[in-house]
Amino acid sequence: MTAEPAADRHRARPVDLAEAPEVQRLLDGLGLGRLLPDRVVSYNGRNDNWSGTTTHGVDVFVKRLGGPAADAARRLRNLLAFEELLATAPRTAGGLRGPRCLGWSEADLLVAFALVPSAVSGAERADAGDFTDQDAFRVGAAIGTLHGLDHARRTALDTSPPPLPPTAPLTALPLERHRTASAAELRLWSILQQDEELAAGIRALREREAEADPCPVHGDFRLDQLLFTDEVVHLLDCEELRRADPARDIGAYVGEWLHRAVGKLPGPCEGTGSDPAGTAPSTREMTGRATRELTRTRPLIERFRAGYASAGTALAPAVRERAAAFAGWHLIDRVLAQSVQRSTLTPVQRAALGIARTLLLSPAAVTTTLGLED
Ligand SMILES: Nc1ncnc2c1ncn2[C@@H]1O[C@H](COP(=O)(O)OP(=O)(O)O)[C@@H](O)[C@H]1O
Ligand SMILES: [Mg+2]
C-alpha cells in the first residue's frame, strides 16, 4: 500500500538523498530496496527524515539524528532502548506501540521505521478539534504502560540527568546563549531570573523529582509525538527515554492542553509583536479566560488519568503535584520555543507565564482544577 501522509506535516523539501547516500545504503543493507528520490517526502521535525515507498514496495520512515555526534549517538541508543523495552514487555502491555523499527546504523546515526500509513499526529487531531475522550484514554494507557515496564531494570537506560528544566540559566545565561538568543527569549530569561519565587519553584521541582520512584519515561512528550491510526496510537521519538519521575510525562500531557487553552485566548496583538498600550487584557483577565478554556479540556486529562490507571498504576498525590508543576514548566518551555527569532512576548505568552507561575508555586492547589484529581 502506498502511504498518503497528511500534507501539512510535510516539510517543503527533504534533504537531497544524493547528499545523504548513507540512507540508501542502510535500506539496501536491510534488504528493503531503495527510496525513489523524486517520490520522497519529509516530515516536520528537528532531525532530517525521509519517507516513501522503496523499490521493494516497503513504506519506510528514515531519520538521521542531528546535532553533535556524541549527543546524537546517545539519542539513537535511547531510541533502541525503547525497542528493547517493548520487546521485553509482557503481552498485556498491548496499549503501548511504536512504529516498527526496521534497522539502524550507529556509524551513520540513522534509524529506519515502518511508515505508519494514513496516520495523523496527536497535535493535528487536537488542532482539528478531533481529539476525543477515547484518544485521551488510549494515550493515558500507553504512557501508563510505559511507566509500568521493567521494574526489574533489565534494560539499560540513559543515565544522564534530564536537561530540562534548566536551573543554571535562572541565575545567568551562558554568553553563547545570550549572543544567539532573540529579544523575546532574553526577555523571558530576564523575567525568570528576576522572579525569585518562580525561579525557586523551578529549582524546587528539580529537587522534588529526586523523591520519585523512577520508571521509564518518554522524557520529551508532546502531542506531536503521537501518531494515530484508526486502531492504535503510536508513541514516537523516544530520544530522551530515561528512568525518571513519571510526573514528567504526565505533566507534559497536561501542559500541552494548557498551552492550547491559553493559545486560544483572543489576545488583541497575537502574533503581531506589537503591544499598544491599553488594548492588552490583564493577566487576571487572561487567567480567567484560560480557566474557562481549560474546563473544556479537563475531561481529556481525566480520561488520560483513567487510561493511565487502567495500565495498573494509580497516581500518588505527590506524583499529581509534581505533574502539575511539570505542566507549569511545559508552558514555559512552549513559550521559549515560540520566542525563537521573535522580538517581544505577546500578552498571551505573558498570560501563559502567569499560569505557569501558579502551577509551579502552588501545584497542590490546582490538581483538581486540572483534572489530575477528582
Ligand atoms: N513511522 C512513521 N510513520 C509516519 N510518520 C512518522 C513516523 N515517524 C515519525 N513520523 C512523522 O515525522 C515527524 C517527526 O518524527 P520524529 O520521530 O518525532 O522526529 P524528530 O526527532 O525530528 O521530532 C513526526 O512528528 C511524525 O509526524
Ligand atoms: Mg518529534
Q: What is the pLDDT of residues 309-341, one digit of tens each?
A: 999 988 999 999 999 999 999 999 999 999 999
Q: At what angle do helices 133-148 and 283-310 cross, to 10 degrees?
A: 60
Region 184-200 average pLDDT? 97
**What percent of the chain is predicted at pLDDT more than 70?**
91
Domains in the chain, start-ordered, CATH in brackets? 7-115 (3.30.200.20), 121-370 (3.90.1200)
Q: Strands 233-235 and 242-244, how do they pair?
A: unpaired
Mean pLDDT across the chain: 91
Residue 188 has pLDDT above 80, yes or no: yes
The pLDDT > 90 percentage for the chain reads 80
Q: What is the pTM of this model?
A: 0.93
pLDDT above 80 (res 5):
no
Region 5-33 average pLDDT: 86
Residue 127's identity, in one-letter code, is D
- Ligand 1: does its nearest atom lie under 6 Å from the Cβ of 66? no
Distance of CA 205 to the CA centre of its chain: 19
Res. 280 pLDDT band, cuts 50 70 90: low
46 lines ligand 1 (CB under 6 A): yes
Instruction: Kindly give the distance from the C-alpha atom of residue 152 to the centroid of ligand 2, in angstroms, as a whole number.
Output: 29
Q: What pLDDT is attached to residue 320? A: 98
For ligand 1, say whether the CB of 339 is within 6 Å of any of its atoms: no
- 109-118: per-residue pLDDT in tens? 999 999 998 8
Nearest to 331 by CA among 228, 222, 233, 234: 222
- If pLDDT is split at 50, 70 and 90, which confidence band does 139 have? very high
Closest residue CA from atom 22 of ligand 1 = 45
* pLDDT at residue 289, as a whole number: 74
CB burial readout 146-170, b (16+ within 10 A) else e: bbbbbeeeebebbeeebebbeeebb
- 121 phi/psi in degrees, rounded to 5: -80, 160
Structural contact between residues 275 and 269, judged by C-beta atoms closer than 8 angstroms = yes
Closest C-alpha among 171, 34, 142, 146 to residue 89: 146
Q: Determine the Cα–Cα distance for residues 42 and 11; give it in Å rounded to an integer.
A: 5
Look-up: residue for cell 499529581?
320
In this structure, which ligand is nearest to the CA of 41?
1
Q: Is the CB of 99 under 6 A from ligand 1?
A: yes
* Ligand 1 center–CA 46 separation, angstroms: 10
Which atom from ligand 1 is nearest to the alpha carbon of 237?
Answer: 17
The pLDDT value given to residue 115: 97
- pLDDT band, very low/low/confident/very high, at 88 (cuts 50, 70, 90): confident
What is the residue with the minimal CA distance to atom 19 of ligand 1?
Answer: 45
Write down the pLDDT at residue 94.
Answer: 66
Pocket flag, ligand 1, residue 119 (CB < 6 Å): yes
Task: Give distance in angstroms: CA of 50 to centre of ligand 1.
Answer: 10
The rounded distance, in Å, linking the Cα atoms of 198 and 54 is 51
Mean pLDDT, residues 217-243: 96
Using a 6 Å cutoff on CB, does residue 43 contact ligand 1? yes
Is any atom of ligand 1 closer than 6 Å to the C-beta of 228?
Answer: no
- Phi, psi values for residue 213, rounded to 5°: -85, 105
Residue 270 pLDDT exceeds 60: no
- Of 109, 115, 114, 100, nearest in space to 76 by CA: 109
Whether ligand 1 lies within 6 angstroms of the CB of 121 is answered as yes
Cβ of 78 closer than 6 Å to ligand 1, yes or no, is: no
Band (pLDDT 50/70/90 cuts) for residue 7 is low
- Assess whether pLDDT exceeds 80 at residue 32: yes
Least Cα distance to 242 among 220, 225, 223 occurs for 220
Q: How far apart are CA 232 and CA 235, in angstroms?
A: 10
> What digits encode the pLDDT tens for the residues 258-269?
999 988 776 654
- Ligand found nearest the CA of 78: 1
Asked whether the beta carbons of 322 and 209 are under 8 A apart, the reply is: yes
Is the CB of residue 141 less than 8 Å from the CB of residue 308? yes
Spacing, Cα 239 to ligand 2 middle (Å): 9
User: CA-CA distance, 291 to 355, in Å (whole number)?
Assistant: 10
287: pLDDT strictly greater than 90? no
Q: What's the pLDDT score for residue 190?
A: 96
Ligand 1 pocket member 101 (CB < 6 A): no
Res 137 pLDDT > 70? yes
Choose one of 15, 43, 63 to mutate for the ligand 1 pocket test, by most ligand atoms within 8 angstroms of C-beta.
Answer: 43
Q: Residue 160 C-alpha to ligand 2 middle, in angstroms?
A: 20
310 lines ligand 1 (CB under 6 A): no
Dist. CA 131–CA 300, nearest whole Å: 8
